[in-house]
Amino acid sequence: KAERQSSLPAKLINGGIAGLIGVTCVFPIDLAKTRLQNQQNGQRLYTSMSDCLIKTIRSEGYFGMYRGAAVNLTLVTPEKAIKLAANDFFRHTLSKDGRKLTVPKEMLAGCGAGTCQVIVTTPMEMLKIQLQDAGRIAAQQKLMASQATLNPASAGTSPAATATRSPQTAMQITKELLRKKGIAGLYKGLGATLLRDVPFSIIYFPLFANLNKLGQKSPDEKAPFYVSFISGCIAGSTAAVAVNPCDVVKTRLQSLQRGVNEDTYSGIVDCTRKILRNEGPMAFLKGAYCRALVIAPLFGIAQVVYFLGVAEFFLGMLPKRQE
């Protein structure tokens, strides 16, 4: 039996609603993930996710945990909509012969979905990371300045330590990138984003589909909402941890501002080598549990909204056009 398809507007609306709800719930954890991944050995401000969030609230206030959220809330609708709709499209296309999808075909559909979504994901992540990490860099500069005051002999040895830069908005960052590098500036780290999102989708979508089937009484019935939620959480957290090394590399490459004495990178291979040499293999798991905590509810909520067909309900309330 070929898989049932919802209308394209319904898919887009469902994906958008799911993304908005999910991001609102888990964004502070995502901010902690970015800051933990970006800090390098010898310049550590945070020891854990909770330590990062506590220090962020103390230095930047409660809303400091939501720096960059506006970018995500704006772009997560098309991003999630493209991802879910593309996966549904590829699954439908690959099952047109009426047969049940094999795992390789499910993985191929996930690969297609992951490839499509980077059109929106790359610039969204690029802007979000600058806004999220600005507080960490500012806190590091303050720390270095206070140390320089206590130890005047070291003052002036590191210009970056005292160089301050006022926080930029997403629009200011976008204009600056477009002016200096054109549209390519917004797509810095595209290769690393593909390396993260394509394997993620290859793991996530087949795993979710097969877990969700366990809760279906028959192939024609939807699984209960709690099964879709749990399946989305398990599949999302599993895929998130599996691709975390790629996420660390992507985050480092997309960060435009560096803290004091932090490495710069010329590309994926250079970044991987320097992290491995200077920080060890465990550095590739930085922020892994944060990412699992972000992705699990995000995709759990997404699948519940998507499979409950919230959009179909609202679209069904619209007056039908007379032929």
Does 253 score more than 90 pLDDT?
yes
How high is the pLDDT of residue 307?
64
- DSSP per residue over 20-82, as a string? HHHHHHHHHHHHHHHHHHH--TT----SSHHHHHHHHHHHH-GGGGGTTHHHHHHHHHHHHHH
Tell me which amino acid residue 16 is.
Answer: G
CA distances from 100 to 56, 84, 94, 106 (A): 49, 19, 9, 10
CA atoms within 13 A on the CB side of 72: 24
Does 160 score more than 60 pLDDT?
no
Q: Where are the domains of the chain?
A: 8-39+48-139+169-317
Q: Which residues contact 287 (CB under 8 A, 6 or more apart)?
A: 32, 33, 34, 36, 37, 244, 247, 248
Q: For the domain 8-39+48-139+169-317, what is the CATH code? A: 1.50.40.10
At 211 the three-state DSSP class reads: helix
How high is the pLDDT of residue 8?
63
Report, as an integer, the average pLDDT of 63-89.
84
Are residues 32 and 67 in contact, defined by beta-carbon separation less than 8 angstroms? Answer: no
Q: What is the pLDDT of residues 212-244, one digit of tens each?
A: 888 888 777 777 878 888 888 899 999 999 999
How high is the pLDDT of residue 143?
77
User: For helices 288-308 and 225-242, what crossing angle results, to 10°?
Assistant: 150
Q: In this structure, what DSSP letter does residue 267 have?
A: S
- Label residue 130 by pLDDT band (50, 70, 90): very high
- Label residue 108 by pLDDT band (50, 70, 90): very high
- What is the CA 148 to chain-centroid distance, rounded? 37
Closest CA to 129 of 36, 42, 60, 196: 36
Q: What is the pLDDT of residues 262-319, one digit of tens each?
A: 889 999 999 999 999 999 999 999 999 999 988 888 777 777 776 666 555 555 555 5
Does 15 score more than 70 pLDDT?
no
Are residues 135 and 182 in contact, defined by beta-carbon separation less than 8 angstroms? Answer: no
Measure the CA–CA gap between 127 and 253, rounded to whole angstroms. 13
How high is the pLDDT of residue 212?
87
Does 4 score more than 60 pLDDT?
no
Integer distance in angstroms from the first to the last C-alpha of the chain?
A: 32
- Label residue 323 by pLDDT band (50, 70, 90): very low
**What rounded mean pLDDT belongs to the chain?**
82
Q: Answer with the residue of higher pLDDT: 308 or 18.
A: 18
